[in-house]
A and B are shown apart, each in its own frame.
Chain A
Amino acid sequence: MARTFEFHGGVYPPERKQRSQGPVRHARLPDQVVLHLDQHAGRPALATVAVGDSVRVGTPIARGDGMISATLHASISGQVTQVDRHTITIDGDGVDTWQRLTPLEWRTESADQLLRRLEQSGVVGLGGAGFPAHIKARIGERQRIDTLVVNAAECEPYITVDDLTLQQYTSDVLEGAQFIASLCGAKQIVVGIEDNKPEAISALRQAKAESQPLSVTVSVIATRYPSGGERQLIKSLLNRDVPDQGLPADVGVLCQNPGTLLAALRSVRDGEPLVERLVTLTGEAIADPGNRWVRIGTPMAALLDEAGLNRAELHQLIEGGPMMGTPLDDLEGMVTKTTNCLIAATRQELPPAPPESPCIRCGACEEVCPANLLPQQLHWYARAQDDTKLAHYRLFDCIECNACSYVCPSHIPLVADYRQAKTRLRQQQLETAKAEHAKHRFEWRQARLAREEAEKQARRQARLARQSTQQSDSQGASPQADLRSLRIAQTAAKAAVRKAEKNLARAAQQDPEQPNDDLEIQLATAQENLQAAEARLAEAREAGEPQETS
């Protein structure tokens, strides 16, 4: 057994995973799906279908907008019946006809092709953040990655999606891991899993011997929430400290969860875009709990009714886990790419919080904080809106795991306070960034106009060049030096694009919830500049053909 290390803090909530342990089944095909355009990190997708269009399962219906965004596909076959700013509705025909992409062999295919496939297939992180997988896999272009960590800790109570995925699709998940590891240049694969999943662990141990070409280590860690936080897991498995405000890539690690790896493999091997995912349906108010393959966009009400929801008993519906998940007010929601669990809890199971009392600074929160913060001080300064102190006490290092709220004897909703403070601070930043953003938008427009001008020029030049070759050569050509400076300009523009991409990828990965419009516009500007530079270069080449060939 691989050696493991300790992270600071943590709590031992009840696991309550037993109820959803049954074999994986397919949920009934929904009659209608409603697909949100923003079910991934980054900018919402742009609809590419109109009302009345016929779609099959896997037909792209919205394309990613900007670099951090994701393609969206029809998850049932039928007809598009509504398109608005946030959603696309499809009425099913009950036939379930598919539109697949050509299967690719990941061992032999080029990296570009594979990355494009991940992008085309709309694969995003299925663990919760919904970060586009192709962007994450490209991290290897910018930073050295030595280890792919398969995050199978699944430390939140109730949820068994990763557990069941590993039990039933063990070799596929490992092959997906080999695929992603080869894309990002990792040298080893480490699976981090909590010791409360014995079946998955033994399945992994059996399957890892056949997994090729990289060696796979199965690291069993003690069950302690939040062991599945990226930083905590990397600390536990590899004893590396991800810098605060940094990324796992800064210590040579890429993290993916088992479901994402499975989806990535299927997109390549089977040409199957991401149209369904595994969802844990559990809670005492459900008669028939378990894990189901659910089409993206399936109405939660239909799904829960199928699992035998007792509406009279239902007290609280939670999307995600009971520690970090989102309590829902009604059953009107839809399953998205990031819906890993639905808990229909009875009142007895998750009783309402008792009234809050004042903080007595008992320090229980500090003891359990995995980020080694002082939650009691953050609480104080968040309520006082003291921004300098909040920065001093590292508010933005909070991973919002809720361990502090879980143990607080005064029942203070600490993380809710921190979120509020973060939102407020971001709002302030946004205000100050607005002027900057306007400037960047202007620059982008200028760049677009310049690019269009350059392309027009290039087309005219090409025409002239054609005419001139037809009529004998008399055209005055650009000097050699001009061509060289244009090439330099093109190289510089390329570098600027890469830099803008890097900045954006980094910002988006650090904080998937934060909008990055300004960085997107800077990237767009750089891309316009690059195209313009290429057009000018092409034009100069056309014009200078005789000199260059001579």
Chain B
Amino acid sequence: MLHASQVDDRPRLTKMPSTGGIMRWVIIATLPGLATMTFFFGLGVVSNVVLAAAFGLGLEALVLRLRHRNLRPLNDASALLTGVLLGASLPPASPWWLIGIGMVAAIVVAKHLYGGLGNNPFNPAMVGYALLLVSFPTYMTLWPTPQPLWPDTLVSQIMGSTSLEQIDSLSGATPLDAFKHKAEEVSASQFWANPPLPRATLTAWEWISAAWAVGGAMLLAKRLISWHIPVAMLGSMTAAAALLYLFNPDEAASLWLHLFTGATLFGAFFIATDPVSAATSQRGKLIYGAGIGLLVIVIRTWGGYPDAVAFAVLLMNLCVPLLDIYTVPATTESQAATGRAQP
């Protein structure tokens, strides 16, 4: 019978990718973001991604073997994608064991213990990230000050001997982190009048956010993700941040800070849109995305973590079964009128 992936005489659409094709395209769409991160934070970004991806493939193969499955699913590139996404989330040149623990949590626990691809209720990369964030906060919160290509740390990364002192000497906080941990008596305007972080850090994060947005646009243009989740997430963040700012401009973080200096755009296009762990109907996706956006603002404002995309996504993952039940597309209205039961 006919299948869209096998016909090349379709006049209106290009060839439909397979599941593996979708994953590979998403990986390609991460390239602008990864390249920009590398430009600002050095080769540690690349090595993160490469290590995480290698762990991903290796663990996937190992678990498939343990589950007595054939290794064909390796072709679907989903483990590779999880590695790329986790690698991109970690501070550059994270030690190999940190990446390894994160990937075990992602691939073994979050994915295969739940039944493998398609069955995981939580976003694997974010499970790995959240585990690392609560277990190794010091390693996870220190980002280097932007200084292009940073090769001397590669050695210590590979040796797993990156010491906290070594990181500390080169690191600074992310803008969101700095703002979160500003002294009580410093108001927002005072903070920005004399920010405790170099201008270069802010510039770097702005550029990186823009690059993730470019990748997101690629995904939208290729119709590999639908607009519902990113738009709902960014929309609800904007609304909530604007509201907070209106009530308390002196304390609240600005909209700009929320949207362009953290993981927001990366999360909106590459994390929240993971179809397996997201709500599935269009209405469900809107609620799901809006919920993530709202939770991000709530956690950033009143919670203990400066960036909050991972937790917000995981919390909304929890709501997906419920969302899926309550957002079944409506039946034709007249059915209620005839009132006949289904067979």
Residues of A within 8 A of B (CB): 11-14, 16, 157, 241-246, 250-251, 318, 322-323, 325, 327, 350-351, 353-355, 357-364, 366-367, 372-374, 376-377, 391-394, 396-397, 402, 405-411, 425-426, 429, 511
Contact = CB atoms under 8 A, between A and B. Distances in A.
B194 interface: no
A376 B4 CA distance: 17
A12 B60 CA distance: 36
Interface string B84-120: 0000000000000000000000000000000011110
B340 to A, nearest CB: 6
A12 B117 CA distance: 29
B19 A397 contact: no
Contact of B2 (A157, A362, A374, A396): A157
B5 A354 contact: yes
B338 A246 contact: yes
Contact of B7 (A13, A354, A363): A13
A123 to B, nearest CB: 28
B2 A323 contact: yes
A246 B331 CA distance: 12
Contact of B16 (A350, A374, A409): A409
A244 B341 CA distance: 10
A370 B81 CA distance: 32
A411 B13 contact: no
Given A358-B118, A358-B119, A392-B325, A409 B18 contact: yes
Given A362-B22, A409-B17, A353 B3 contact: yes
Given A366-B282, A425-B343, A350 B10 contact: no
Going nearest first, the 6 A-B pairs with the smallest beta carbon separation are A358-B118, A243-B334, A322-B2, A14-B9, A244-B335, A410-B19
A416 to B, nearest CB: 10
B280 interface: yes
B12 interface: yes
Given A241-B334, A406-B2, A425-B343, A16 B9 contact: yes
Contacts of A12: 10-13
B288 to A, nearest CB: 12
B118 A350 contact: no
Contacts of B329: 372-374
Contacts of B17: 409
A363 B118 CA distance: 12
A396 B331 CA distance: 12
B16 A244 contact: no
A547 to B, nearest CB: 48
Interface string B276-312: 1010111001000000000000000000000000000
Contact of B73 (A325, A357, A405): A357
B76 interface: yes
A374 B338 contact: no
B190 interface: no
B39 to A, nearest CB: 32
Interface string B1-38: 11111110111110011111110000000000000000
Contacts of B3: 353, 405-406, 408, 411
Contacts of B16: 364, 407, 409
A186 to B, nearest CB: 20
A410 B18 CA distance: 6
Interface residues of B, number: 50
25 contacts: A14-B11, A16-B9, A241-B334, A242-B332, A353-B1, A354-B5, A355-B72, A357-B20, A357-B73, A357-B76, A358-B116, A358-B117, A359-B118, A360-B78, A361-B275, A361-B278, A362-B22, A363-B226, A363-B282, A374-B280, A374-B329, A396-B343, A406-B2, A407-B16, A411-B18
Given A358-B119, A410-B19, A245 B2 contact: no
Contacts of B135: none
B335 A246 contact: yes
A366 B22 CA distance: 17
Contacts of B20: 357
Contacts of A426: 343
A393 B275 contact: no
B169 interface: no
Contact of B19 (A251, A353, A360): A360
Given A357-B117, A360-B117, A243 B332 contact: yes
A409 B5 contact: yes
Given A12-B11, A361-B280, A409-B17, A392 B4 contact: no
Nearest to B115: A358
Contact of A241 (B18, B116, B333): B333
A215 to B, nearest CB: 27
A14 B331 contact: no
A11 B4 contact: yes
Nearest to A240: B334
A350 B12 CA distance: 19
Contacts of A425: 343
Nearest to A241: B332
Given A16-B9, A374-B281, 12 more contacts: A12-B10, A241-B334, A245-B342, A250-B334, A318-B1, A327-B1, A358-B73, A360-B276, A362-B19, A363-B282, A377-B328, A409-B22
Nearest to B279: A361
Given A323-B2, A363-B275, A357 B280 contact: no
Contacts of A405: 1, 3
A49 B280 CA distance: 58
A436 to B, nearest CB: 14
Nearest to B117: A358
B193 interface: no
Contact of A360 (B11, B13, B275): B275
B324 interface: yes
A13 B5 contact: no
B183 interface: no
A16 B118 CA distance: 35
Contacts of B340: 245-246
Contacts of B134: none
A80 B334 CA distance: 51
Contacts of A243: 332, 334-335, 337-338
B1 A14 contact: no
B5 A411 contact: yes
A397 to B, nearest CB: 7
B280 A376 contact: yes
Nearest to B21: A409
Contacts of A251: 334
A377 B2 contact: no
Nearest to B75: A357
A366 B335 contact: no
A493 B299 CA distance: 72
Contacts of A353: 1, 3
A288 B285 CA distance: 51
A357 B77 CA distance: 12
